Amino acid sequence: MAVATAAALLAALGGALWLATRRFVGSRVQRLHGGGNPGLMHGKTVLITGANSGLGRATAAELLRLGARVIMGCRDRARAEEAASQLRRELREAGGPEPSPDVGGAGELVVKELDLASLRSVRAFCQELLQEEPRLDVLINNAGVFQCPYMKTEDGFEMQFGVNHLGHFLLTSLLLGLLKSSAPSRIVVVSSKLYKYGEINFEDLNSEQSYNKSFCYSRSKLANILFTRELARRLEGTNVTVNVLHPGIVRTNLGRHIHIPLLVKPLFNLVSWAFFKTPLEGAQTSIYLASSPEVEGVSGRYFGDCKEEELLPKAMDESVARKLWDISEVMVGILK
């Protein structure tokens, strides 16, 4: 009885919050896209990592609807092709132009294999993209690994730090030339509010002395923010902007490594449906930073719910940001 009562209360409270959140997001979407302006991103090429599911897929769907040429950089090509087929069908059913894998222009959707846990894959991806693409208007570093058991990337890095930070660090570094030649262009980095619980321990970046999956995730997200701020400093005067965001708590498959007891699962599912954002709602800030005229020229800032938010002092430490940059260059092989 007590469990049933608690569940009912959670459902009622969650339902109210869910409705309030949807009203906020709905108003922001209408304001951002001018009621669905299909030409807002016409002529723009956008690269999104991890675009086959969750936030990345939702971001791709919206930017595609706005006329962008979207490149999906995904680890699993088969899953990415399946997601691309679904996106094309959804766009067609919504009455928009069906994206073509062959013909250039608005609504084009391209799938490319990219494994951020492999520096070799990142380099091969960038080499191919630089040969094939004349411009890149927006890079969205979206893919991520969340609280996985201890494992290492192909290059021997702790998985969360390796994928969430180092993989994207190398990807962005190798594409900077194209972004600069395509200016004005934008870089969007997806971080998390959980950065607040992370620390940059330069003595054990690879977590070989100790490993806590929650702490390591938070550290990788703090690294995303420090990377963004240092990159913004280095890009001053280039007309390339870079901003970082947190999407809030979103219902995606990112938490697949988290074990939830069977008896608790129904209650957890109820809470998640009541309190967590949908992928489309969570993607709004990514879409906003990638497309909105409101943030033209804005760089080095931290956003949530399509507005700027303050950072903790440790995320604004310039000396730590520069040191992390220098070490990252060595780790990914840019500098020997």
Average pLDDT, rounded, for the chain: 86
Closest among 235, 241, 227 to 191, alpha carbons compared: 227
Calpha distance 242→17 (Å, rounded): 32
Calpha distance 239→228 (Å, rounded): 15
Q: For residue range 267-320, what is the model confidence (pLDDT) as tens digits?
A: 444 444 445 689 999 999 999 999 999 999 999 999 999 999 999 999 999 999
Tell me the pLDDT band of 38, cut-offs 50, 70 and 90.
confident
Average pLDDT of the segment spanning 177-193: 98
**In the predicted structure, residue 168 carries a pLDDT above the cut 80:** yes
DSSP assignment string, 7-70: HHHHHHHHHHHHHHHHHHHHHHHHHHHTTT-TTTTTT-EEEEETTTSHHHHHHHHHHHHTT-EE
Residue 17: its pLDDT value, please?
Answer: 46
Question: What is this structure's pTM?
Answer: 0.85
Q: What are phi and psi of 72, to 5 degrees?
A: -95, 110
Closest among 335, 336, 331 to 168, alpha carbons compared: 331
Calpha distance 336→332 (Å, rounded): 9
Closest among 238, 235, 246, 248 to 300, alpha carbons compared: 235
**In the predicted structure, residue 151 carries a pLDDT above the cut 70:** yes
Buried-state track 21-30, b at ≥16 Cβ within 10 A, e below 16: beeebeebbe
**In the predicted structure, residue 91 carries a pLDDT above the cut 90:** no
In this structure, are residues 171 and 119 in contact, taking their beta carbons and an 8 Å threshold? no
Residue 246: its pLDDT value, please?
Answer: 98
DSSP assignment string, 70-101: EEEEES-HHHHHHHHHHHHHHHHHTTSPPP-S
Residue 33: its pLDDT value, please?
Answer: 41
Q: For residue range 75-86, what is the model confidence (pLDDT) as tens digits?
A: 999 999 999 999
Closest among 190, 199, 129 to 165, alpha carbons compared: 190
Tell me the pLDDT band of 253, cut-offs 50, 70 and 90.
low
Q: For residue range 204-230, what is the model confidence (pLDDT) as tens digits?
A: 999 999 999 999 999 999 999 999 999
Tell me the pLDDT band of 99, cut-offs 50, 70 and 90.
low
Catalytic residue, chosen from 150, 197, 211, 217, is 217
Does the annotation count 211 as an active-site position? no
Residue 262: its pLDDT value, please?
Answer: 55
**In the predicted structure, residue 263 carries a pLDDT above the cut 80:** no
Residue 160: its pLDDT value, please?
Answer: 98
State which amino acid sits at residue 261.
P
Span of 51-60, 239-248, 261-270 with lowest mean pLDDT: 261-270
Residue 310 burial by Cβ neighbours in a 10 Å radius (0-12, 13-18, 19+)? exposed
Task: Give the pair of three-digit tokens for residue 270.
Answer: 């109820």
Residue 28: its pLDDT value, please?
Answer: 45
**In the predicted structure, residue 265 carries a pLDDT above the cut 50:** no
**In the predicted structure, residue 250 carries a pLDDT above the cut 50:** yes
Q: For residue range 55-72, what is the model confidence (pLDDT) as tens digits?
A: 999 999 999 999 999 999
Residue 54's contacts (CB-CB under 8 Å, 6 or more residues apart) are 250, 252, 253, 254, 279
Q: How many CB atoms lie within 10 A of CB 42?
A: 14
In this structure, are residues 246 and 308 in contact, taking their beta carbons and an 8 Å threshold? no
Residue 107: its pLDDT value, please?
Answer: 72
Q: For residue range 131-146, what is the model confidence (pLDDT) as tens digits?
A: 999 999 999 999 999 9
Task: Give the pair of three-digit tokens for residue 86.
Answer: 């679904």
**In the predicted structure, residue 18 carries a pLDDT above the cut 50:** no
Residue 259: its pLDDT value, please?
Answer: 52
Task: Give the pair of three-digit tokens for residue 48.
Answer: 């999104």
Residue 27: its pLDDT value, please?
Answer: 45
